Amino acid sequence: MASPGVRLASWTALGVPPCKGTGALRLALPVLRSNIVTNWIRLVALALAAASLGGCATRRYPVSGMILQVDKQRQTLLVSHERIPGYMDAMAMPFRVRDAKALELLRPGMRIEFQLVVNNTESWAERVRLKGGAQFEADPQAPAPQPSHAVALGQPVPDFELTDQSQRPVKLSQFAGKVVAVTFIYTRCPLPDYCPRLSDNFARLQERFGDRVGRDLTLLTVTFDPQYDRPEVLAAYGRGWKANPDGWRFLTGPMREIRRVCGMFGVDFWPDEGQITHSLRTALIDRQGRLAANLPGSDFTPRQLGDLVQNILNTP
């Protein structure tokens, strides 16, 4: 009989498919107040289930996600992955990588694809590749370098000063000890998968982290259209996203300083037939003021960005 406060759960209840004909594996798990089984318990379930099932054939599952952490000592990747059909829901999970050399080229914030291999005793990731890019195990080429004037990952981000939507001067250095997320937009951007998507990502971060925004997480949205995006325009834009002005700052300033800040993060922009053509970047700065991640494009999900922020917040 299960002890008080303990319930029995089958491995199918954990979202892990058993091998055909093996029946249900039953595990004693503490009763959780929420309906979510924590990821480490799910890992234990996977390990115990694999050890108890002698007849499982090797299975392979395609996985796509964003790297949150690279642990070279343990040879693992912590990945915020999308749903793995027939195997696992979307979540953040560690995966072992057999090819240690592949880890040398991987960084937090990279979007990757790989094959998850599972047999009766272990699991590992193989054929790791950048999403749409090179396969590291077969063709270990480093990602395309950022412009020479851009800050490298792991390096301190130089200070800058701009003006926010409330016409307050804002320096990056005033957020020392906090995690800072930075992105770049212009308010007249007509393409929903460009600037509006980046703003929506920050709105989701604000919703997910609640009162931590402004306390130990700061969101900075920098315009590269300062001639139009004056503080009052940015204030109206921010209200449209229900931005907390103390935690989510929309920044403008002299074009010379805007160009310097954009260059620090590898953002390019130029006028084009009444609009602005530009690249997309979302940067994360850790509590020590170092560049922790610099995500190009917008093809990651808000959940993946939030998982990456969570991991940086949890790092001393």
CATH of the domain at 234: 3.40.30.10
Tokens of residue 190, six digits: 């007509």
Asked whether residue 139 is assigned to any structural domain, the reply reads: no
Which CA distances in Å does 214 have to 72, 159, 233, 308? 33, 19, 22, 18
Q: Is residue 155 part of a domain?
A: no
Do residues 233 and 172 share a domain? yes
Q: Is residue 1 situated within a structural domain?
A: no
Site of tokens 């829901």: 89
- State residue 57's pLDDT score: 83
What is the domain range of residue 15?
6-52
Give the pLDDT confidence score for residue 32 in this predicted structure.
35
The values of phi and psi at residue 165, to 5°, are: -65, -15
Where residue 68 sits, what CATH number does that domain have?
A: 2.40.50.320
Q: What is the number of alpha carbons within 13 Å of residue 296 lying toward its C-beta?
A: 16
Q: What is the largest CA-CA distance in the chain?
A: 74
Residue 229 lies in a domain: yes
- The phi, psi pair for 237, rounded to 5°, reads -60, -45
d(CA 244, CA 40): 34
Residue 64 lies in a domain: yes
β-pair partners for 113: 64, 129
Residues 305 and 201 in one domain: yes
DSSP 260: H
Instruction: Look at residue 133 in the predicted model and tell me its pLDDT.
Output: 54
At residue 46, the pLDDT reads 54
- The one-letter code for the residue type at 161 is E
Please provide the distance, in angstroms rounded to a whole number, between the alpha carbons at the two ends of the chain. 42
186 occurs within a structural domain: yes
Asked if residue 81 belongs to a domain, the reply is: yes
Asked whether residue 201 falls in the same domain as residue 64, the answer is no
Q: Of 130, 153, 173, which residue constitutes the final position of a domain? A: 130
The answer to whether the CB of 24 falls within 8 A of the CB of 11 is: yes
Same-domain status, 230 and 289: yes
Is residue 262 located within the same domain as residue 293? yes
169 in the same domain as 97: no
| Domain count of the fold of the chain | 3
Both structure tokens of 204: 């989701």
Mean pLDDT by 10 residues, the chain (316 residues): 36 44 36 42 52 64 92 90 90 88 86 91 89 50 50 96 98 98 94 92 97 96 96 97 97 96 93 86 97 92 96 92
Query: Which candidate, 290, 289, 287, 283, places its Cα nearest to that of 308?
Result: 283
Whether residue 71 sits in one domain with residue 190: no
15 and 110 housed in the same domain: no
* Residue 46 host element (H or E): helix 39-52
Say if residue 40 is exposed, middle or buried (CB neighbours under 10 Å; 0-12, 13-18, 19+).
exposed
Q: What is the DSSP pairing of strand 169-171 with strand 161-163?
A: antiparallel
Phi and psi for 25 in degrees, rounded to 5? -90, 130
Distances (CA, A) of 50 to 16, 17, 154, 310: 10, 11, 38, 30
Whether residue 266 contacts residue 291, with contact meaning beta carbons closer than 8 Å, is answered with no
Kindly state whether residues 203 and 286 are assigned to the same domain. yes
Residues 272 and 175 occupy one common structural domain: yes
Question: Are 178 and 102 in the same domain?
Answer: no
Identify whether 40 is part of a domain. Answer: yes
> How many other C-beta atoms can be found within 10 angstroms of the C-beta atom of residue 226?
20
Neighbours of 58 (CB within 10 A): 9
pTM of the complete model:
0.68
What was the pLDDT predicted at 73? 85
Same domain, 200 and 306: yes
